[in-house]
Amino acid sequence: MSRQTESIMDKVWNIFSSMKTGLVLLGVIAVVSGIGTLIPQEALDPGGAKSVNSLWKMLGFTHLYSTSWFRLILGLLSINLLVCSIQRFNGIYRKTFKPQPPQSASSIPSKIQTRISGNDKKLREAVSEVLKHKGYQLKINEQEGRWSFIAQKHKWGNWGSLITHIAFIVLVVGALVGSMTGFKGFFMAGEGETLPIQQIKVSKGNVAENFYVKINSAEDRVLANGERDNWYTDLSILESGQEVARQTISVNHPFSYQGVTFYQSSFAQGGKFTVNVNGQKVPFILQNKGGNYFQAPGTDLYFILAAVKADPKAPIVLYQVYQGNSSQPLAMGQMNLGEVNKINDTVSLTFDGLSSFTGLQVKKDPGVNLVWLGCALLMIGLVLSFYWRPHTISGILEMQEESYLHMGAIRGKLAVGTQEEFNQIVADIKKRLASDSVRS
């Protein structure tokens, strides 16, 4: 049973350690993502998503990036990269920290190599001094009748591709954590309004928090020269009816509470009103241009604010009243500050002053720190891969009557730079040998 289990594990490991598996998964993600760009997504285009064929909806292509099967594909790709990284780790570690000088001439890299003859002592001195001058770190092995070395420069560049792969894994994990446990939403609220966080309009995810948000004030602040300063919202967080946090936010200055972040997104003018129904007075606020409505208690009358002139000294509003499901207004009128308009025999409306509405984006993303970590690792990996390319040169000196130095360089992905570096080192060694011969 143990052998059978081990065999199954080996097969699974071999599948996920295969580059072919990674390429297949990348191809599937590319094709699926391509289809997703052509099909409207519910979070970005709700109207367009509704018109999509029911088959595509059933398969989840209208909310592609939050489907379980798409997350599964990303997870499988991450496992593939992780297994490949684990397999490569020991080799990269040995190459970086435990390089071994060659044991014979056949161990010298064959693509880029040369042979230099000369006095063994002078050859050793020339190789050591030239390579150290070029910034290489040498490891030397001396045996009877043989001297060998391996030299490295920019050895940390060996880790570039591995760190890049790990960065992708961290980015995927961060995105999955954020999409599965976080949420993104929006709400528009007026001054003095209090609403539970769970009632905000969510575009993705689910709200698990259970606190309340109170809008103390909202302001469209203008500078003395007439230019707009910023939108400001003074909001409070309430738990069990008690204020536990308070902050004034503005554009580019968000506020976070228990991992939930509030961003200033928009602003709208509004008006304060009081409706009198058979002697019962009820205050309410309306958003400009019909952004919300108010139903007079005990009636089928609905009030909206059609327009507002936001002059602090002499504000003017245009209101409309609808009855039942009618699409035509029952009444409409213009009102100045403090003015009272009679709607019918039992209902009247008073304009009490200007008000403001604030639009806030609300987001919780527990995976954001992982995403930032992934981005940092990705930058490090790319820098190491492209701007800190490792150079490794090895050689073996056979000390006989006439000594020969067999020396070569590991080709790497960018052979042109390696070849140029190697040629320069060979030229410097020969130049050093020639100058020693002249002096002697």
Verify that 147 and 23 share a domain, yes or no.
no
Three-class DSSP labels, the chain: CHHHHHHHHHHHHHHHCCHHHHHHHHHHHHHHHHHHHHCCCCCCCHHHHHCCCHHHHHHCHHHHHHCHHHHHHHHHHHHHHHHHHHHHHHHHHHHHHCCCCCCCHHHCCCCEEEEEEECHHHHHHHHHHHHHHCCCEEEEEEECCEEEEEEEECHHHHHHHHHHHHHHHHHHHHHHHHHHHCEEEEEEEECCCEEEHHHCEEEEECCCCCCEEEEEEEEEEECCCCCEEEEEEEEEEEECCEEEEEEEEECCECEEECCEEEEEEEEEEEEEEEEEECCEEEEEEEEHHHCCCEECCCCCEEEEEEEEECCCCCCEEEEEEEECCCCCCCEEEEEECCCEEECCCCEEEEEEEEEEEEEEEEEECCCHHHHHHHHHHHHHHHHHHHHCCCEEEEEEEECCCCEEEEEEECCCCCHHHHHHHHHHHHHHHHHHHHHHHHHC
Do 234 and 330 belong to one domain?
yes
Q: Is residue 196 part of a domain?
A: yes
Whether 202 and 184 have beta carbons less than 8 Å apart is answered as yes
Domain that holds residue 273: 183-364
Is 311 contained in some domain? yes
Q: pLDDT digits over 205-219, tens only?
A: 889 899 999 999 999
Both 337 and 189 in a single domain? yes
On whether both 231 and 104 belong to a single domain, the answer is no
pLDDT tens for residues 255-293? 999 999 999 999 999 999 999 999 999 999 999 999 999
Report the pLDDT value the prediction gives residue 1, as an integer from 0 to 100.
47
Q: How many angstroms from the chain centroid is the CA of residue 386?
A: 22
User: In this structure, is residue 418 part of a structural domain?
Assistant: yes
Tell me, yes or no, whether 290 and 330 share the same domain. Answer: yes
The residue out of 91, 112, 132 marking a domain boundary is 91
Rounded to whole angstroms, the Cα distance separating 141 from 123 reads 15
Q: Is the dihedral of CA 106, 109, 112, 114 positive or negative?
A: negative
| Phi, psi for residue 302 in degrees, rounded to 5 | -120, 130
Please state whether beta strands 146-153 and 112-118 pair in parallel, antiparallel, or not at all (unpaired): unpaired
- Residue 36 resides in a domain: yes
Domain edge (last residue) among 364, 399, 425 = 364
For residue range 27-80, what is the model confidence (pLDDT) as tens digits?
988 888 888 888 887 777 777 878 888 888 888 888 777 788 888 888 888 888
Domain count along the chain: 3
Give yes or no: residues 133 and 261 share one domain: no
Residue whose C-alpha is closest to residue 422's, from 386, 395, 385, 387: 395
Boundary-marking domain end, from 75, 91, 107? 91
Query: Based on the domain organization, do 27 and 108 belong to the same domain?
Result: no
Asked if 82 and 124 sit in the same domain, the reply is no
Q: Using CA of residue 346, residue 352, residue 358, residue 362, what is the dihedral sign?
A: negative
| Burial class of 57 by CB neighbour count within 10 A (0 to 12, 13 to 18, 19+) | middle
| Regions in the chain scoring below 70 on pLDDT | 1-6, 401, 412-416, 436-440
In a domain, 217, yes or no: yes
| Sign of the torsion formed by the C-alpha atoms of 159, 160, 166 and 167 | positive
Are residues 341 and 207 part of one domain?
yes
What are 357's strand-pairing partners?
190, 268
Query: 340: Cβ–Cβ under 8 A, 6 or more apart, which residues?
Result: 348, 349, 350
Residue at 379 is within a domain = no
Distance separating alpha carbons of residues 62 and 52, to the nearest angstrom: 8
Pairing outcome for strands 347-364 and 255-257: unpaired
**Based on the domain organization, do 277 and 360 belong to the same domain?**
yes
**Using CA atoms, how far apart are residues 12 and 388, in angstroms rounded to an integer?**
35
Query: Tokens 């009636």 identify what position?
Result: 299
CATH at 140: 3.30.160.110
Residue 254 lies in a domain: yes
Strands of the sheet containing 294-295, edge to edge, are 294-295, 301-309, 316-323, 331-336
Closest to 262 (Cα-Cα) out of 271, 250, 272:
250
Q: Which of 98, 156, 96, 101 is nearest to 128 (CA)?
A: 101
Are the CB atoms for 62 and 39 separated by under 8 Å? Answer: yes
Structure token digits, residue 265: 């997104």
Residues 55 and 11 placed together within one structural domain of the fold: yes
Instruction: Sort strands 146-153 and 194-196 into parallel, antiparallel or unpaired.
Output: unpaired
Task: Determine the Cα–Cα distance for residues 340 and 57; give it in Å rounded to an integer.
Answer: 52
Q: Which single residue is written with the structure tokens 């390089």?
A: 99
Shared domain for 360 and 393, answered yes or no, is no
User: Is residue 370 situated within a structural domain?
Assistant: no
The amino acid that residue 33 corresponds to is S
